[in-house]
Amino acid sequence: MDIELSAEDLSFREEVRQFFSDNEYPAGEDYMTWRTQWFEKARQKGGWDVPKWPADFGGPGWTPTQHYIWEQETARASLPFDLPFGVGMLAPILMAYGNEEQQHRFLPDIRSRKVNWCQGYSEAGAGSDLANVKTKAVLSDDGTYYMVNGSKMWTTAAHMADWIFCLTRTDASGIKQKGITFLLFPMQQDGVEVKPIITLGGSHSVNSVYFTDVKVPVENRIGEEGKGWTYAKGLLQHERTGLAGLSGSLVALEKLKEQARSVTRGNGTLMDDPGYRAKVAELEIDLMAAEYTELRSLASASTGAAPGPESSILKLKGTEIQQRIQKLTVEAGGIYSAAWGSKPIGLPFARGGMGGYLASRAFTIYGGASEVQRDVIAKNVLGLKRSSK
Amino acid sequence: MNFDLSEEQRMIQESVARFIKDNYDLESRVASSAKDPGFNTDHWNTMAELGWLGLPFAESDGGFGGNQIDVMVVMEQFGKGLVLEPFLASIVMGGGALKRGGSESLKSEMLPGVIDGSRQLAFAYAEQQARFDLHDVTTTARQEGEAFVLNGQKSMVQNAETASQIVVSTRTSGGQVDEDGITLFLVDADADGITLDNFPTVDGLRASEIAIKDVSVSADRILGEVGRGFEILNAVANDAMLALGAEAVGTMEVLYKDTVAYTQEREQFGHPLSDFQVLQHRMVEMFIEYEQCKSMLYRATMEAVKGDPATAQKAIHGLKHLVGKYGFFIGENAVQLHGGMGVTEELRLGHYFKRLVVIDSMFGNADFHLQKFAA
C-alpha cells in the first residue's frame, strides 16, 4: 500500500492546474464561445474533453490516480457548464453496443457538445423500479421504423435537449426486464412534448416528456430489440458512482466552514459553538473515509473490473454527506435561511443555502433511491435473500 | 389527570378544523400566498368574526380570557392547513407584548382593533449579530425629553408589511448582551425613519428587514418599564414557541398521514410501497416521534399555564428542540418516501416540509434549545 503521488502524478497535477488557470473564463467574453474553445483545447491536450472515454475512442487513457487528480482539481476550478447525458452516459453505451455507423454518426457531436442529449429512462410508474417501462414502441409492418407512444418523467434537461436516448417497451409478454428496446430520436419533432416539473428549491431542471406517434427509424435502435435493459443497466452503476460527488463535497465543506465563521454567535462565531463544530467534524471524518472508499473502488477498477458494490456504498454515503452539508448550511443561516425571493437577506449565503438544501433532498431519490441501494448491497454483497417482501 | 379539552375548546377546535378543510386546499393557499398582502383578508376577517383573534386576551381587554391551551388548539389546526394569516405575528407576538406591557390607555386604544382584525401588529426582536439570543440587542433608544429616539436594524420581522404598529426591542442601558437595559416600544409602522424591505419566506409567508433611523417614539408607547423589557420579550418568545410547537405538531400529522396513504397507493416492484418492511418501520418512527412531540407540546403548554416558570422554561426548550429535530426527521422522510413526487411543488407535502424547516429557524433551532436545556 502506498498513497504517495509519484513524480509523474505530481507533474500531471501541475499540468492540469496550469491548463485550468490558462483557460479560465475571461469575464465579459461570450460564454458559449469560450465553452466551445475550452473543450477544443482540452481535446488537443489528448482527450481531456472526454476524460473517461477509452483511448481507442479518443480518451486520454489515464490511470485511476490521474482520474482521481482530475476529479479533485475540477471541483476547485471553474470548468464550463456540461451535461453528463451525452459524454458520460450515452457514449459508453454507443461504444459498447452501438454499431460502427452509429458510433460515427453520434460520437463526434456528443464530444464537441454540439448536440445535447437527455435520458428517457424514468416514468411515472418506473422510479426505483426502473425496468417497469410502459412507453410503447411498435415496429412497423415493413420493419423500417418504430412508432413510440407514452411518457417519461423526471427527465433532466429535456427542455434543453436536441436528442433523447430512451427505454421503450417492445414486448410485454415476459418478465419486465425483457422486451425493453433502446432507441435514439430527436426531441424537436411533432409528437414530442415537454412539460416542466418545478421542484422544491423552486428550480426547473426536470420535466415530463410525452410521445404521441413518434416515428423512429430502426437504424436508431441500439443493439438488438428487447435487450435494452442489459445495455442500460451496466451504465447505472457508472451513474451511481458519479452521483457520490465527493470532490464537490470537499470543496463544499470548506465553504461551509467559511460561512459558519462569518456567523456571529456570542463573542465568537458559529464555528466556536461546540455543538455545531462537532457536527462539522463528524461530517469531515465521514468524508475522509468515503474518499478512501472511492480510491479503493478506483484501484479495483484499474484492474479492469466493472464498478462493483462500492458504487452503491459511494452513492449512499456520498449523497448523505452532500445532504448533511446542505443541512448544516441551513442551520448556519439561522433565521435568514427562511428568507426567499430574489435578493439575499442578512447572511449572503442563506438564500442559496436553503435552495441547495431543498434540492439536495432529491439526491437520495434519483439514480436509485437509498432504499434500493441498500437492497443492492444486501443482495449482491451480503448475499441476503428476501423471502417474500 | 385530564388531557381532555373543555367543551369550549372542543368547539373551537372543530370550528378551526372545518375552516381549514373548507378553505385551505393547496391551490388556494398557493394563490393567496403569491399575491399581496400574502394572505387572504377575507379569511382574516372570518377569524375575527369567529372570535379566534380575541382568544388569548383578557375579558377586561375585550378578549375571550383564554390562555396558551386555547392558542395551542387553534395553532395545531392551523398547522394542518399551513395558515398564512398573521395570527402568530399579530395576536401571539405583537398582541402578547401589548397585553403584558401596555398601559391601560394604550391597550384600550390598540387592542379592540387587534381583536377585530382591523389593526395588525408585528414583533421586531431579531438582530443579525444576535443569532438566536433575545437579549443581544444593539438597536438603541435615547431619551430626548418626553420621547425616545430609536436607531438600528431588525431582521426577519413576520408580517411587518401589513402591520400598523411594530413592537421593537431596544437597548436603553447596559452592555450588548445584558438582560437588563432592554426596553420595548410600540412603534407606528408609518413613522418617519422606518423603512421596510419586504420579501417572501420559503414557506410562503412574508417577512421584512426593518431599518430604524432617528425614529421618535413617545414615552407612553413603552411596553413595561424602561430597561425591564426582557421579561416581556422572553414571555412573548415562550408563547410564540408554544404556538409554533402546536403548529408543527399539526404539520407533522399531515406529513406522516399523507406518507402512510401514499405508500399504500404507490406500487413499485409489483407491490405497494407500504408492503416493504423497511418503509413500514420508517413510518412507524415518524408516527412515534410525532406523538412524542405532541406529548411534549402538552407538557410545555400545561407547565406554561400553571407551573413554576423555571420548569415551564425548561419544558419549552425541550419542546422547541424536539419539534426542530423531528420536524426535519418527519419532513425529510415524508419527502424520501414520496420519491420524486416528494420533491415537487405539486404535492402538498413539500410545502408542509418547508414550513417545518422554517419553524426550526425561528426563536432558536434544535441545537440552540438543546444547549439552553442543558445549561
How high is the ipTM of this complex? Answer: 0.92
User: Band of the pLDDT at B333, cuts 50, 70, 90?
Assistant: very high
Question: A358 is in which domain, residue-wise?
Answer: 244-381
User: Do A370 and A248 reside in the same domain of the chain?
Assistant: yes
Count of structural domains within chain A? 3
DSSP structure class, residue B5? P
A122 contacts in B (CB within 8 Å)? 340
Chain A contact for B343, CB < 8 A?
yes
Q: How far apart are CA A367 and CA A89, in angstroms?
A: 12
The answer to whether A137 and A183 are in contact (CB under 8 A) is yes
Distance from the B157 Cα atom to the nearest Cα atom in chain A, whole angstroms: 10
Q: Which of B294, B361, B351, B345 has its CA nearest to residue B81? A: B351
Secondary-structure breakdown of chain A: helix, strand, coil percentages, each rounded to the nearest 5: 50, 15, 35
Predicted structure pTM score: 0.92
Max CA distance (Å), chain A: 80
pLDDT attached to residue A339? 96
Instruction: Give the residue on B whose Cα is nearest the Cα of A334.
Output: B361
B355 contacts in A (CB within 8 Å)? none
Overall average pLDDT of the A279-293 stretch: 94
**What SS3 class is residue B165?**
strand
Q: Which of A183, A264, A249, A188 has its CA nearest to residue A219? A: A183
B343 contacts in A (CB within 8 Å)? 199-200, 358-359, 361-362, 365
Neighbour tally for A261: CB within 10 Å: 14
Residues of B (264-293) whose Cβ lies below 8 Å from A: 267-269, 271, 275-279
pLDDT attached to residue A389? 47
**CATH numeric code, B122-227:** 2.40.110.10
The answer to whether B183 and B200 are in contact (CB under 8 A) is no
Give span(s): CATH 1.20.140.10, chain B: 231-374
User: Do A254 and A334 reside in the same domain of the chain?
Assistant: yes
Q: Per mean pLDDT, which range of A127-131, B57-61, B252-256, B287-291 is the poorest? A: A127-131
pLDDT attached to residue A387? 62
Check whether B351 has a pLDDT greater than 80. Answer: yes
CB-CB under 8 Å, A335 with B362: yes
With 0-12 CB in 10 A as exposed, 13-18 as middle and 19+ as buried, what is B334? buried
**What SS3 class is residue A123?**
strand
Please report, as a single letter, which amino acid is at residue A221: R
Which run of H or of E encompasses A269?
A: strand A268-269
Ramachandran angles phi, psi of A53, nearest 5°:
-75, 145
Give span(s): CATH 2.40.110.10, chain B: 122-227
Interaxial angle between packed helices B26-34 and B348-361, expressed in degrees from 0 to 180 and rounded to the nearest 10: 50
CB-CB under 8 Å, A371 with B371: no
Overall average pLDDT of the B147-171 stretch: 98
Question: Within a domain: residue A45?
Answer: yes
Ramachandran angles phi, psi of B189, nearest 5°:
-65, -25
Residues of chain B above pLDDT 90, percent: 97
User: Do A221 and A345 reside in the same domain of the chain?
Assistant: no
Label residue B46 left, alpha or beta by phi (over 0 means left) and psi (-120 to 50 means alpha).
alpha
Check whether A76 has a pLDDT greater than 90. Answer: no
pLDDT tens across A238-267, in order? 665 666 788 889 999 999 999 999 999 888
CB-CB under 8 Å, A132 with B343: no
User: Do A202 and A126 reside in the same domain of the chain?
Assistant: yes
CB-CB under 8 Å, B197 with A128: no
Question: Which CATH number goes with the domain that contains A121?
Answer: 2.40.110.10
CB-CB under 8 Å, B275 with A335: no
**What SS3 class is residue A188?**
coil
User: Do A121 and A65 reside in the same domain of the chain?
Assistant: no
CA distances from A362 to A113, A122, A199, A235, B70 (A): 26, 14, 9, 20, 39
Question: Within a domain: residue A208?
Answer: yes
With 0-12 CB in 10 A as exposed, 13-18 as middle and 19+ as buried, what is B266? middle
Q: What are the start-end ranges of the E strands in chain B?
A: 121-124, 140-144, 147-158, 165-171, 182-188, 194-200, 206-218, 222-223, 267-268, 271-272
User: Do A331 and A209 reside in the same domain of the chain?
Assistant: no
Check whether B52 has a pLDDT greater than 50. Answer: yes
pLDDT tens across B287-321, in order? 999 999 999 999 999 999 998 999 999 999 999 99
Which run of H or of E encompasses A318?
A: helix A310-333
In the block, which residue shows the cell 406500487? B267
In the block, which residue shows the cell 420579501? B199
User: Do A195 and A289 reside in the same domain of the chain?
Assistant: no
Overall average pLDDT of the A104-113 stretch: 96
Q: How far apart are CA A221 and CA A208, in angstroms?
A: 22
User: Do A192 and A75 reside in the same domain of the chain?
Assistant: no
Q: How far apart are CA B110 and CA A323, in angstroms?
A: 47
Instruction: Give the residue on B whose Cα is nearest the Cα of A204.
Output: B344
Overall average pLDDT of the B206-211 stretch: 98
User: Do A221 and A250 reside in the same domain of the chain?
Assistant: no
Distance from the B70 Cα atom to the nearest Cα atom in chain A, whole angstroms: 27
Question: Within a domain: residue A162?
Answer: yes
pLDDT attached to residue A388? 53
Check whether A234 has a pLDDT greater than 80. Answer: no
User: Do A55 and A151 reside in the same domain of the chain?
Assistant: no
Q: Which of A197, A331, A374 faces B365 most closely, judged by CB atoms?
A: A331
Task: Classify domain B7-118 by CATH architecture.
Answer: Orthogonal Bundle (1.10)
Query: Residue B38 has which C-alpha cell?
Result: 400574502
CB-CB under 8 Å, A389 with B128: no
Q: Is 1.20.140.10 the CATH classification of the domain at B231-374?
A: yes
Distance from the A77 Cα atom to the nearest Cα atom in chain B, whole angstroms: 30
User: Do A248 and A363 reside in the same domain of the chain?
Assistant: yes
In the block, which residue shows the cell 477498477? A301
User: Do A67 and A120 reside in the same domain of the chain?
Assistant: no
With 0-12 CB in 10 A as exposed, 13-18 as middle and 19+ as buried, what is A384? exposed
